[in-house]
Chain A
Amino acid sequence: MSIEIDHVNKHFRDFVAVDNVSLTFREGELTALLGPSGSGKTTLLRIIAGLEQPDTGRIRFHGEDTTDLHVSQRGVGFVFQHYALFKHMTVFQNVAYGLTVRPRRVRPGKAEIKRKVMELLELVQLDWTAHRYPHQLSGGQRQRIALARALAVEPKVLLLDEPFGALDAKVRAELRRWLRRLHDEIHVTSVFVTHDQEEALEVSDRVVVMNKGRVEQDGSPEEVYDHPANPFVYQFLGNVNLFHARVHDGVARIGDVALPAPEYEGYRNEQGQAYVRPHEIEVFADAQHQDALHAKVELVSVVGPTVRLELRTDNSEALVHAELPKYRYRALGLQQGGDAWIRPIHSRVFLPDSQVSNG
């Protein structure tokens, strides 16, 4: 079931939460809505679910207009940030709820409900908790029960609001992979909201980056990470170094380093900002390349298998962050406080006034 969002707007008092957003979520895909808090991602999710009404615009499921369809008729599975499990019901009753509240005509029989619920509990590997109450479960378990409850009604689309937000780091990483595997099994069109870029990149088929109610970029995780559409996306997805750059006829220059910038073919002597990720900076221990910039190594921090360097170039006030594998760092024999030479190997330049569409 595909979801189509057509020119949707939503404001709360003076605050514009969703600003003329149009998007299509393709059938069977797992999409991440990624953005900082206040970017409108949760509001958009709640609009898709029918928990908020858009000021203007339409929502369509598989071409069928559902904008005016009440949330209870819309057939969405919604997993709430804080799970919203019914405190006074057992796990079994929670998962069975969506089936037991159906009108008698279409309600499955007791045995059928039981079979279905147990099947779902097995799917989320929590069948042994059926007779417990939500408060007797850990956060990760509650999360999975909330998911099972949402799936019990065989939703056309699955919507998850910060599904791992309230969990600790280790459980989060486990559940993330588990959600990915689960999605590969059941293949229901799913959208989840997150502010964690790593989570978005790891789990989803597609990432929609939002900011201030607008869609900044929409693409596969690789596309979004490797070819950010604008400075916001660049900065939001991972660390980045900013360099002054001069663009001339398809070439960007950072100091003496010349890098290809084919999107600026025909531009002449424009000043812009080059965005370079820490792992896109080559580090040398000697001046073997004449275009490399001289820098002092100010700080070395070893994080597991990678080494992060903070370097200060001769003419720069800002620190440059570089990342390299530990073996490479060892081979170079760099020292904190010693000299180094650096050279960007890939960059993306943005000119102050013109924003180039996704290149």
Chain B
Amino acid sequence: MSIALPRRRVIPGFGLTMGFTLLYLSLVFLIPVGAFLLYTATMSWETFWNAVTQRQVVASYKLSFGGSLIAATINLVFGALVAWVLVRYRFPGKRLVVALVDLPFALPTAVAGIALVTLYASSGWVGQYLDLFGIRVAYTQLGVIVALTYIGLPFVVRTVQPVLEDLEAEWEEASASLGADRLTTVRRVILPALMPALLTGYALAFARALGEYGSVVFISGNLPFRTEITPLLIVAKAEQYDYHGAAAIGTVMLLAAFLMLLVINGLQWWTSRRYGQ
């Protein structure tokens, strides 16, 4: 009496949903990306290397990676602060503020781009005051950082917020009852608990900033060697039918994105192992 039965699942629809998922994912995403990587792979190493190490391209890496790093760091600090304020304090209009945090996520990047350049141009609402102190934002590297900060703003807030909400008050009470002052409690109890979320948010903001195009191109002014970000170079090369050059730089950006995903997944894996969630 040991006849092996064919595998059958109780809840129906596995074949249908899985089939459609894989088909759609393959057609829209996997096959095109695979073909693209294959295209790059057919290039000679020399073509590839020359394309990705042109002086103008290297200058754009510096701006893209450096600017994204700075923007993500600004978001790390202010995102944590915003999350703290939104979770712990009450003030009029808080619901509205909570909702607004997602704006950079929902507002088209082109709209954000023209809004930012209008604000920070030397005649703009903010730019005219900054001008008094000799600070120029529009058409400078500072402008790139402003746009990348804007675009990464929701990430740290949104990853830290739920963790902060779930933080047991008992921890802080225990810390205080053991004689710690408030600053010590924040430093020794709260920050370590938030660390994985902070890092994840940081990585997400960085990854998003790295690939950003729309909100940056208006405010940056796109001066070669000065304010050209890497995605802009890709667009420029594609428009000039320099597919090899574009594909080579695109592959570098693609690999950087995969690497960031790996880091983020690793962080989440580490968090779940360490905190058992």
Contact = CB atoms under 8 A, between A and B. Distances in A.
B8 A58 contact: no
Contacts of B10: 50-53, 70-71
A54 B7 CA distance: 10
Nearest to A49: B10
Interface in B1-20: 1-5, 7-10, 12
B7 A56 contact: no
Interface in A5-60: 6-7, 9, 50-58
A57 B4 CA distance: 8
A58 B4 contact: no
Interface size class of chain B, counting residues whose CB lies under 8 Å from the partner chain: 10 to 19
Contacts of B7: 53
A54 B5 contact: yes
A51 B12 CA distance: 11
Given A50-B10, A52-B10, A53-B8, 17 more contacts: A51-B10, A53-B5, A53-B10, A54-B5, A55-B4, A55-B5, A56-B2, A56-B3, A56-B5, A57-B1, A58-B1, A67-B5, A68-B5, A68-B8, A70-B10, A70-B12, A71-B10
A68 B3 CA distance: 13
Nearest to B1: A7
A51 B8 CA distance: 11
Nearest to A72: B12
Interface of B: 1-5, 7-10, 12
A239 B85 CA distance: 56
Given A50-B10, A53-B10, A71-B10, A7 B2 contact: yes
15 contacts: A9-B2, A50-B10, A51-B10, A52-B10, A53-B5, A53-B7, A53-B8, A56-B1, A56-B2, A56-B3, A56-B5, A57-B1, A68-B8, A70-B10, A71-B10
A50 B5 CA distance: 14
A76 B244 CA distance: 64
A6 B3 CA distance: 12
Contacts of A55: 4-5
A6 B1 contact: yes
Contacts of A70: 10, 12
A207 to B, nearest CB: 25
A50 B10 CA distance: 7
A71 B9 CA distance: 10
B261 to A, nearest CB: 29
A191 B5 CA distance: 25
A267 B275 CA distance: 58
Contacts of A7: 1-2
Contacts of A53: 5, 7-10
Contacts of B2: 7, 9, 56-57
A307 to B, nearest CB: 41
A86 to B, nearest CB: 16
Contacts of B1: 6-7, 56-58
A7 B4 CA distance: 12
A50 B12 CA distance: 13
A295 to B, nearest CB: 47
A52 B9 CA distance: 8
Contacts of B8: 53, 68
B170 to A, nearest CB: 25
A78 to B, nearest CB: 11
Top 3 nearest A-B pairs (CB, nearest first) are A7-B1, A56-B2, A51-B10
A351 B90 CA distance: 71
A64 to B, nearest CB: 17
Nearest to A8: B1
Contacts of A9: 2
A67 B3 CA distance: 12
Interface in A45-104: 50-58, 67-68, 70-71
Nearest to B4: A56
Nearest to A50: B10
Contacts of A52: 10
